[in-house]
Amino acid sequence: MVSVNSMQSPFWLGGLLVMSICGSSLPAVAQSTSTIIPNTATAEFNSPGKPPKSISSNTVKIPVQGGTAALEIIKIGDRASIEPGDAISYRLQIRNTGTATITDLSIKDTLPLGFKFLAKSPVGAIANAAGTPVTNPSPITATVSGSVVTFKYPELQPQQSLIIAYAALTSPDAVRGTGRNSAIAFGLSPSGPVNSNIASHRVLVQAGIVSDCGTLIGRVFEDRNFDGEQQPGEPGIPNAVVILEDGNRIMTDADGLYSLPFVLAGYHTGTLDLTSLPGYTIAPNLYRIDKNSTSRSVRLEPSGMARMNFAVTPTYREGVR
């Protein structure tokens, strides 16, 4: 019902977009069924130091089936991409397109992973059919439960629009989420409950200065008490090779240590290449059965650190399987 064909606007390009979607000018819907409705949208822009400007769209003729109460919801965000730490502002427009009053209107807005609703941010307004603001509207309440924000408004007259704007802050977890936010409105009408469509807005979350990679560290050392841990007096083995499941080949330094930054989060397997350290084999370990393997499996969290240690001991009967 609202078309925003303002992409050519210099304000958009200037990055100073302050956009308000006013109520679209719609003729009153007749009670009769199957009416053709000519529909025109107007977008109005404010930019600093300039008078408000509005643009009307072309007129679209839509056949409308006459009904009782109906809800329609639109959601937009103020940006298409975001980095952790940025705020995004969302704008919801809920309109009663029916002919009956809707009571107990509630709007459920589900934020994507890593988006945090800013409790002080929401503002709201009511416009009547002509697009003029309604004075002294009832207060809108917002409640947050997890990632779901619920707005409540007592009564929406036919052809009235409820406009809610609010902001959300992104945390580093957002990079793991979809960035898609969805909203739905529902209320009660004399003829029964009424639901709106689902409106969604997707924002591309870019890693920015935070990364979702982790760091693998570890050591290869000579285990003298066969406990799998390096104590003083248990020297590190230089130039030992650890191979990861993706083919990455890591070599230990002169102290037998290694670290591998920028490893994608998830499960990783590394194995000690015994041909790189002639004369050694994996040290037996009677404390922990998993340490007897030449492989280690670790779970690496984003920005986390995981360790793969290998204890070795001088050997004999090399290469005999």
Partner 1 sequence: MKTPKCIYQFSTIQILLLLGLSQSAISQPIPFYKTTVTSNADEIKADNGLTLRESIALINGELKLENLSSAERSQVTPASQASTIGFNLPSGQTQIALKSELPSITIPGTTIDGTTQPGYDATKSATQEINIAIPVVELIPAANVDVLRGLTIVSDRVTIRGLSIHGFSAAHKSTAMTPPADIFISHATPPPSIEKQKMPANFAPYYPDDIPPKNTIIENNWLGLSPIGKTDRPSAFGVSVFHGENTTIRRNRIEFHDGSAIITSVAVTNTDVSENIIVNNGLAGMPDAIRLEGNVDRSRIHGNLMCGNDGAGVYLFKPEGTVKISDNQIRYNGRRLRRAAIYLTGSGHEVTDNQISHQSGSGVVVGAYPQSDRNIITNNRFDALEGMSIDLNTQENTYAQAWQTGDGPNPKRKGSYRHLETGNAAIDSPEFTTDEFTNASVITGTAEPNSQIALYKVQSNPEDDRGPLSQPIGQATANGDGKFTTQLTGLVKGDRISATATDLTKGTSEPAINAAIGTWNDVKISRNPTAIPACTTPPNPPATVPPPILPVKLKAPTRIHFALDQDFISPVSATILNRIATVLNQYPGVSIELEGHTDPRANNDYNQALGMRRATNARNYLLRQGISASRMTLRSLGETKRIAKGDSKIDYARDRRVEIIYRDSDGFELTVEESDLQLE
Contact mark string toward partner 1, 165..204, x via CB under 8 A: ----------------------------------------
Q: Does 152 bind partner 1 (CB under 8 A)?
A: no
| Footprint on residues 277-316 left by partner 1 (CB under 8 A) | 278-287, 292, 313-316
Residue 319 makes contact with partner 1 by CB under 8 A: yes
Q: Which of 78, 104, 212, 227 binds partner 1 (CB under 8 A)?
A: 227
The span of 3-11, 102-110, 204-212, 223-231 binding partner 1 (CB under 8 A) equals: 223-231
Confirm or reject binding of residue 275 to partner 1 (CB under 8 A): yes
User: Per rule CB under 8 A, is residue 248 in the interface with partner 1?
Assistant: no
Report how many residues bind partner 1 under the rule CB under 8 A.
37
Q: Which is nearer to partner 1, 47 or 294 (CB)?
A: 294
The smaller minimum CB distance to partner 1, of residues 63 and 319, is found at 319
CB of 290 to partner 1, least distance (A): 11
Cα–Cα distance measured from residue 113 to residue 60, given in angstroms and rounded to the nearest whole number:
38
Min dist. Cβ of residue 279 to partner 1 (A): 4
Q: Which of 108, 116, 152, 224 binds partner 1 (CB under 8 A)?
A: 224
Q: Which is nearer to partner 1, 139 or 319 (CB)?
A: 319
| Interface with partner 1 (CB under 8 A) | 222, 224-229, 231-235, 238-239, 253-254, 275-276, 278-287, 292, 313-320
